[in-house]
Chain A
Amino acid sequence: MPIIGVIASSMKGAPGIPTIGTATDVGTARAYNNGAATVAFTPAAGATATSFTATSSPGGFTATGASSPLTVAGLQSSTSYTFTVTATNASGTSAASAASNSITATTVPQAPTIGTATAGNASATVTYTAGATGGKTVSAYTATSSPGSLTGTGTSPITVSSLTNGTAYTFTVTATNANGTSTASSASNSVTPFVPSSFESIASAVGTGTDTVTFSGIPSSYKVLQIRFIAHTNSGSDSGMWITFNGGTNSSISQQQLEGRTTSVSTYATTQASGNGFYIRTFGTGSLVAPGILNIYDYTDTSRFKSFDLINGFMNSVSTTDASVLTKTGTWASTSAVTSITFTLQSSTFRATNSIALYGIK
């Protein structure tokens, strides 16, 4: 006895091949290397499909659903993909559709690699190495402090300001593009911003065209005076600069010097010198620069003599024919406070490139 019945046409056989539509990148808020694309298609007429599957090429990432469009996830950032779609019902699966248009998957950027944090005054700089862009231009790198969540933006190194001096901070860095913000880098080393020291600028002079510079009316509010200078003469053989205190001849200055010059080492000592003051070397044959740093200690203390030390020298700028470095310690045998300091060049004048600056240290 034959079995006679009617099978609905929608149940007959495997579904036909879908017609591929448009594939579209969906990058917004997608994590790095987890991009997504929507794939549109049109089911074939005839046998009804119960599901459709979109498959990427390359990678073979898939998404399955009952209708168009399907969203395929897991795509690698900045990688081009095409997609095909198959239809499936109880009778089987269709052949794949034609390939879609090609899309480039985009995501948020890859997290930057943290570098080194360096503390400043109520601030810190943070270096990083950029990661991949996620397929879209990175618009900002942001360093964020912990604690405080204070931020700075820019390229490496990023400066984060408004930090609290004395508080330890670490930092992370993120990258942002049109799709969103990356995960944070690992935390930086810990740094602690500093309060600036109490080192103050009092006065300075540059190439005056004269042979004498005097700083007078020196405030008494410091513990130490420091003079930083570049003072070279412009003629003759060895010469120098004399420093005297309070306008006097300072015959009560004693000094001990240790000098290295070319390949020689020498010492020089005077006690209660001739009256010219404290000698600083500013010229050697062929030299073009003669810097020095002089410290004068307890310069306001009227109960003691004044001590000072110096590092000084001269250096040729183009050859190694002659050069000097010297250290010196001295005493001005006076209990008077130092209120003025005079610099007198020996048979020369201060050049335009000379500079003498007076600082006070509290």
Chain B
Amino acid sequence: MPTTYEILATTTLSSTANTYTFSSISQSYTDIRLVANMGLTGQGTIFFRCNSDTGNNYYWEALMAVGSSSTPTSAIQGSGEGRCIVTAGNQQTSSTNGYSLLTVDFMSYTFSLNKPFFYEYGFVPATALYNTKRTACGNYTSGTAISSVSIITDSNFVAGTTFTLFGILKA
């Protein structure tokens, strides 16, 4: 059987940055998967954009649990956001408390319409103030195939943060 699930690119930040972009993504795969292990310099929101697109083309349903005592919540989000939010303000703090893990599966990312995605996000800091778990199903509705993905924070990613992109090709 043909081997797939190939690492298309991986990097470890050598200095702080608020954005990392996978650009010129090969269009030769069926799905792509992004994996990020992220530390922040301080409390911040994390989100992603496709093709630097700030239009109203992101829709997602996020199932969320924050902290050990809260009940899970869920909500549809997207209209007017111009991005897909992975975690909000107080749900990831300084990397001194730990790193978060994010996986995003972009399904059929070269389709001309309806590029659904899943993301899984978790942050469990050493000081358990804002333990966060999010699971989302979404759709990037732009008519343009995904050729770049940017992971962005309004804080800064610390040096040592890693981003990896995989390509998966069906038979």
CB of A219 closer than 8 Å to a CB of B: yes
Residues A118 and B6 in contact, CB atoms below 8 Å apart? no
Question: How many positions in chain A have a CB within 8 Å of any CB in the partner chain?
Answer: 60
18 more CB-based (< 8 A) A-B contacts, given A189-B11, A197-B7: A116-B14, A118-B10, A191-B11, A201-B169, A204-B171, A228-B105, A260-B63, A311-B118, A314-B137, A317-B114, A317-B141, A319-B59, A320-B59, A320-B78, A325-B63, A325-B135, A326-B137, A357-B30
Task: List the B side residues contacting A203 at CB < 8 Å.
Answer: 171
Q: Is the beta-carbon distance between B5 and A359 smaller than 8 angstroms?
A: yes
Chain A residues with CB under 8 A of B10: 118-120, 191, 194
Write the nearest CB–CB distance from A289 to chain B, whole angstroms.
4
Interface string of A318-331 (1 = CB under 8 A from B): 11111111110000
A321–B118 Cα distance when bound, in Å, is 19
Q: Say whether A291 contacts B3, CB under 8 Å.
A: no
Rounded to whole angstroms, the CA-CA distance of A19 and B1 in the bound complex is: 81
Q: Would you give 28 A-B contacts (Cβ < 8 Å), ordered by A?
A: A118-B10, A119-B9, A125-B24, A196-B5, A197-B3, A197-B5, A199-B3, A199-B168, A201-B169, A201-B171, A228-B30, A228-B105, A230-B116, A260-B63, A260-B135, A264-B74, A290-B116, A293-B118, A311-B120, A315-B61, A315-B137, A317-B141, A319-B59, A320-B78, A323-B61, A323-B137, A359-B168, A359-B170
With contacts A260-B63, A264-B74 taken as known, whether A291 is within 8 angstroms of B4 at the C-beta atoms is no
Within 8 A of A (CB), among B108-137: 108, 111, 113-114, 116-118, 120, 135-137
- Residue in contact with A313 in the complex, picked from B9, B30, B118, CB distance below 8 Å: B118
Where the two chains meet, the residues of A that have a C-beta atom closer than 8 Å to any C-beta of B are 116-121, 125, 157, 189, 191, 194, 196-204, 219, 228, 230, 258-265, 288-291, 293, 311-327, 353, 355, 357-361
B67 within 8 A of A: no
- The reply to whether B1 and A311 form a contact with Cβ atoms under 8 Å apart is no
CB distance from B93 to the nearest CB of A (A): 24
Which residues from chain A contact B2 at a C-beta distance below 8 Å?
200-201
Query: How many B residues face the partner with a CB closer than 8 A?
Result: 53
B138 CB within 8 Å of chain A? yes
Cβ–Cβ < 8 Å partners of B170 in chain A: 201, 204, 228, 355, 357, 359
Is B137's CB under 8 angstroms from A291's CB? yes
Partner of A315, one of B4, B9, B60: B60
Is B54 among interface residues, defined by CB-CB distance under 8 A?
no
Query: Which B residues are closer than 8 A to A by beta carbons?
Result: 1-12, 14, 23-24, 30-31, 59-64, 71-79, 105, 107-108, 111, 113-114, 116-118, 120, 135-139, 141, 166, 168-171
* Interchain CB contact under 8 A, A260 and B74: yes
Contact present for A119 and B168 (CB under 8 Å): no
**B171 pairs with A357, CB closer than 8 A:** yes
Nearest Cβ on chain B to A290's Cβ, whole angstroms: 8
Is the beta-carbon distance between A198 and B3 smaller than 8 angstroms? Answer: yes
CA distance A314 to B139 in the complex (A): 9
